[in-house]
Amino acid sequence: MKHLDEYRDGDTARRVAAAIHREADPDRRYRLMEFCGGHTHTIFRYGIEDLLPANVEMVHGPGCPVCVLPIGRLDMAIRMARRDGVILASYGDMLRVPGSKGQSLMKAKAEGADVRMVYSTMDAMRLAETSTGRQVIFFAIGFETTTPPTALAIEAASSKGLTNFSVFCNHVLTPPALGAVLGGPATGDADVVAIDGVVGPAHVSVVIGSRPYEAFVAQYRKPVAISGFEPVDVLQSILMLVRQLNEGRAEVENQYIRAVTRDGNGRARQAMARVFEVRPAFEWRGLGSIPYSALRIRDVFAAFDAERRFEEPYVAAEGVKSCECPAILRGAKKPTDCKLFGHACTPETPLGSCMVSSEGACAAYYTYGRMREPAA
Amino acid sequence: MNAPSRVAARRLDLANGRVDLTYGAGGRAMQQLIDEVFRPAFDNPILARGDDHGVFHVSAGRMAMSTDSFVISPLFFPGGNIGSLAVHGSINDVAMSGARVLYLSAGFIIEEGFPLGDLARIAHAMGTAARAAGVAIVAGDTKVVERGKADGLFINTTGLGIVPPGIEISGDRARPGDLVLISGSMGDHGVAIMAHRAGLEYETTLESDSAALNSLVATMVDAVPGIRVLRDPTRGGLAAALNEICNQSDVGMLLDEAAVPVNPDVLGACELLGLDPLNVANEGKLIAIAPAAEAGRLLGRMRGHPLGCNAAVIGEVTADPSRFVRMATRIGGERIVDWLAGEQLPRIC
């Protein structure tokens, strides 16, 4: 862990923070969006905002896989889990997310559905191997980080000839979502926040590389700094963005050079391309329908596609009224702008997806940062 | 536990035998299980009388009592097993009152089919742990349930101790200005178990910290009778225990992240598993809260004991109507140390 200590070192962090204070122009605002929920988590976990000048503001982005999944897709998973002879395998975070009509996978499980928490797609596939006579569905969610393992598991299941394993694919793509956030209202809402620069994804960029961001930077004239997940990484990336903005530059810079190259991980991208193809459009919570923003399983692996095997239709569904998750995911509102935050909606009793995942802005704010709120 | 029997024609097959329902039915088989597994493992004069109860002398004064049920998986883990854990757990809960721990009871709920050899190993570990801690297991019970009605083996232990005169230790006694100490590194037990479950053993040499803390407590209470609070941060880890104390005492706390000892292997496994060591269970560590003027003496005494050699002052008690446990982070920011919501879950992104 020596490698990590370097990026958590208090003195280094304070030195970078001092440079941000020195170089940030007091006469302007710097509204920087961290796209990834992993960065949101780091920012609150280490209290990074305490080290920033007041005019350098962090806006929390939509890069939390649990948060952006629309309720209609979660409802589909719940319906699949309730079928006879089915085991639904899911990452733990999804179990507590509220679906429509007060449903959740956790409640379905308590009512008798066989829902299992797994750590990886391979765990789900192994579960299928030892559960003959039962259909195992893996509830796949996530950005490009979790997609290659899903691809490899489907290929492995195919080569083993498994007939009781399938994947409910909800993998989404980062660049179109970033475009929706930078480019304005995909939803038609006028409340999309003006962002000056973007702290770019860490693990996602390890897979896709830095090249995909170049088109956005050229199109929208906003700087991007790809950042590691440690606190010093994030501070250094903020400093890079402040410098770009001061100098009127808009480029893709890579702070996370220890892991991210321009072209990313070729083998991971090839695995994704073999198994998945881009959907014409996909519904995102908070961002609306975004063209070419998600993946589906190619025809050649159709036997492993739970959507096709179980013919479960997508029905759009609304969340709890006055839940501000959609606006929070666009960066248009802060968790504390939501009337439900901290009262009706807490990590123990979440009403919206942003309060469930540790990468969600509401959960991070509540768990680590609520002392900043004036006492009620 | 009933009178010694000497009724069995053959000894139990501890190598290959399994517990069946007759071992819980109150007949000869149960008697044989008690005689050949539990009695030799727990051996002490009170138990040896073979009554349905243990009888012992007590001095006048106050007693402390605590009970705990152990339903863990896996039953055997690096650094211990369910038996040693069940003994340490109840000893520690009683010791956190400042009491001298004297006696334990042990109740077993065994699933049909459980290997006799494993049961003997677990009973042996309990006897060894209890003797090492100077505590006698003086009462017990055995039940066998049908396959599927329990997960291998559940153990309940109850502990009893005597609180020395003048000792007033309770979670509601923390006062602003007091200092918060811990006896060693955080997260060892929970991470050892989770790494074992997740198949990460090859990555680490992690062992549970499971230990009886009664002798450490005895030396602490001897040095600083004015200790205000003692608590062992088990399930929910340091974060849950400190939040409980803040609620009981109507105070807040301010911790220093850099002062909280965490074993580098635990930190590494937490990175892989997406966990926070402050939310992870400990089974051989304690939190102590004492007036600032006495904290130095207390720390010295803790460090002089093998189970407290990495003890540290990690923060102070503050006046805070919101009862927040705050922490100055390593990089100079601040955050809340909160209870964990739901289960500990790995991160996806």
Per-residue pLDDT tens digits for B155-173: 999 999 999 999 999 999 9
> Which of B163, B197, B229 is the C-terminal boundary of a domain?
B163
Q: E strand or H helix at A35, and its extent?
A: strand A30-36
Which single residue is written with the structure tokens 């492995």?
A: A156
Chain A residues with CB inside 8 Å of B324's CB? 370-371
Domain of B297 in residue numbering reads as 179-336
The encoded tokens of residue B324 equal 């927040």
Q: Per the domain annotation, does B110 fall within a domain? A: yes
DSSP for residue A181: H
Burial class (CB in 10 A: 0-12, 13-18, 19+), A263: exposed
B196 and B300 both lie in a single domain: yes
B201 and B109 both lie in a single domain: no
B203 and B261 both lie in a single domain: yes
Nearest to A48 among B267, B333, B348 (CB): B333
> Which of B163, B198, B225 is the C-terminal boundary of a domain?
B163
Q: Which residues pair with B153 in a beta bridge?
A: B110
Q: Per the domain annotation, does B7 fall within a domain? A: no
Taken in order B124, B129, B134, B135, is the CA torsion positive or negative? Answer: negative
Q: Cβ(B22)–Cβ(B30) under 8 Å?
A: yes
Q: Which residue of A has its CA nearest to B273?
A: A119
pLDDT of A186 higher than 80:
no
pLDDT band at A194 (very low <50, low <70, confident <90, very high): confident
B90 and B196 both lie in a single domain: no
Q: Touching check for B203 and chain A: CB below 8 Å?
A: no
Q: Per the domain annotation, does B44 fall within a domain? A: yes
Nearest to B348 among A46, A93, A232 (CB): A93
Q: Which residues pair with A59 in a beta bridge?
A: A33
Helices (H), chain A: 2-5, 10-23, 37-45, 65-68, 71-81, 105-110, 121-129, 147-160, 174-183, 203-208, 214-220, 231-246, 266-275, 306-310, 325-329, 361-369
Q: Which residue of B has its CA nearest to A370?
A: B336
Nearest to B324 among A50, A66, A371 (CB): A371
The distance of Cα A97 from the centroid of its chain, to the nearest Å, equals 14
- Residue A193: the pLDDT is 67
Q: Which residue of B has its CA nearest to A369?
A: B335
Q: Which residue of B has its CA nearest to A40?
A: B349
Q: Per the domain annotation, does B11 fall within a domain? A: no
Burial class (CB in 10 A: 0-12, 13-18, 19+), A83: middle
B159 and B183 both lie in a single domain: no
Q: Per the domain annotation, does B147 fall within a domain? A: yes
Greatest alpha-carbon span in chain B: 71
Q: Give CA angle at A349 (B267, A319), nearest 5°.
A: 115
Neighbours of B211 (CB within 10 A): 26
Burial class (CB in 10 A: 0-12, 13-18, 19+), A267: exposed
Give B189 to chain A, closest Cα distance, Å.
19
Average pLDDT, chain B: 92
B201 and B115 both lie in a single domain: no
* pTM, to two decimals: 0.87
Name the nearest CA neighbour of A237 among A30, A55, A29: A30
Cβ partners under 8 Å of residue B285, min gap 6:
B182, B183, B184, B185, B186, B188, B209, B213, B232, B233
Nearest to A13 among B271, B331, B336 (CB): B331
CA distances from B268 to A45, B187, B227 (A): 17, 11, 34
Q: Cβ(B315)–Cβ(B265) under 8 Å?
A: no
- Calculate what percentage of chain A has a pLDDT beyond 70: 95
Q: Give CA angle at A349 (B318, A35), nearest 5°.
A: 85
B143 and B183 both lie in a single domain: no
Q: Which residue of B has its CA nearest to A141?
A: B348
Q: Cβ(A361)–Cβ(A60) under 8 Å?
A: yes
Common-topology check for domains A23-63+175-254 and A67-172+264-310: yes
Instruction: Give residue limits of the domains in chain A.
Output: 23-63+175-254, 67-172+264-310, 325-366
Q: Per the domain annotation, does B341 fall within a domain? A: no
Q: How many CB pairs under 8 A join A and B?
A: 112
- Residue A1: the pLDDT is 47
Give B69 to chain A, closest Cα distance, Å.
23
Q: Per the domain annotation, does B13 fall within a domain? A: no
Q: Touching check for B329 and chain A: CB below 8 Å?
A: yes
- Calculate what percentage of chain B has a pLDDT beyond 70: 93
B235 and B124 both lie in a single domain: no
Which single residue is written with the structure tokens 């606190």?
A: A231
> Which of B136, B163, B190 is the C-terminal boundary of a domain?
B163
The hierarchical CATH code for the domain A67-172+264-310 is: 3.40.50.11740
Q: Do residue A46 and residue B343 have CB atoms under 8 angstroms apart?
A: no
B320 and B262 both lie in a single domain: yes
Nearest to B331 among A38, A145, A231 (CB): A231
Q: What does the alpha-carbon distance between residue B216 and residue A336 come to, in Å, rounded to a whole number?
A: 45
Q: Do residue B331 and residue A51 have CB atoms under 8 angstroms apart?
A: yes
pLDDT of B316 higher than 70:
yes
The pLDDT tens digits for A275-333 are: 999 999 999 998 889 999 999 999 999 999 999 999 999 999 988 889 999 889 888 88
- Residue B2: the pLDDT is 46
- Residue A374: the pLDDT is 60
The distance of Cα B18 from the centroid of its chain, to the nearest Å, equals 28
Q: Do residue A47 and residue B334 have CB atoms under 8 angstroms apart?
A: yes
CA distances from A99 to A6, A107, A357, B104 (A): 41, 10, 14, 47
pLDDT of A376 higher than 50:
no
B194 and B329 both lie in a single domain: yes
Q: What does the alpha-carbon distance between residue B79 and residue B85 come to, in Å, rounded to a whole number?
A: 10
CATH number at residue B298: 3.90.650.10
The pLDDT tens digits for A46-71 are: 999 999 999 999 999 999 999 999 99
CATH number at residue B77: 3.30.1330.10
Which single residue is written with the structure tokens 């105070």?
A: B251
Chain B residues with CB inside 8 Å of A124's CB? none
pLDDT of A185 higher than 80:
no
Chain A residues with CB inside 8 Å of B274's CB? 358
B184 and B88 both lie in a single domain: no
Split into its structural domains, chain B has a count of: 2
pLDDT of B246 higher than 80:
yes
- Calculate what percentage of chain B has a pLDDT beyond 90: 78
pLDDT of B205 higher than 80:
no
**Sheet-wide strand order for B287-290:** B229-231, B287-290, B179-182, B312-318, B252-256, B325-328, B334-336
Q: Do residue B198 and residue A145 have CB atoms under 8 angstroms apart?
A: no
Phi, psi of B91 (to 5 degrees): -60, -45
pLDDT of A125 higher than 70:
yes
pLDDT band at A191 (very low <50, low <70, confident <90, very high): low
DSSP for residue A94: G
Q: Which residue of A has its CA nearest to B329?
A: A46
- Residue B58: the pLDDT is 84
Nearest to B330 among A8, A63, A370 (CB): A8
Answer CATH for A23-63+175-254 from 3.30.1300.10, 3.40.50.11750, 3.40.50.1820, 3.40.50.1980: 3.40.50.11750
Q: E strand or H helix at B122, and its extent?
A: helix B116-132
Q: Do residue A9 and residue B267 have CB atoms under 8 angstroms apart?
A: no
Q: What does the alpha-carbon distance between residue B80 and residue B207 come to, in Å, rounded to a whole number?
A: 8
Q: Do residue A48 and residue B331 have CB atoms under 8 angstroms apart?
A: yes
Comparing B216-220, B265-269, B271-275, which segment has the lowest mean pLDDT?
B271-275
B150 and B231 both lie in a single domain: no
Q: Per the domain annotation, does B171 fall within a domain? A: no
Name the nearest CA neighbour of A234 among A27, A86, A12: A12
Q: Cβ(A252)–Cβ(A226) under 8 Å?
A: yes
Q: Do residue A14 and residue B331 have CB atoms under 8 angstroms apart?
A: yes
Give A308 to chain B, closest Cα distance, Å.
25
Chain A residues with CB inside 8 Å of B329's CB? 45-47, 231
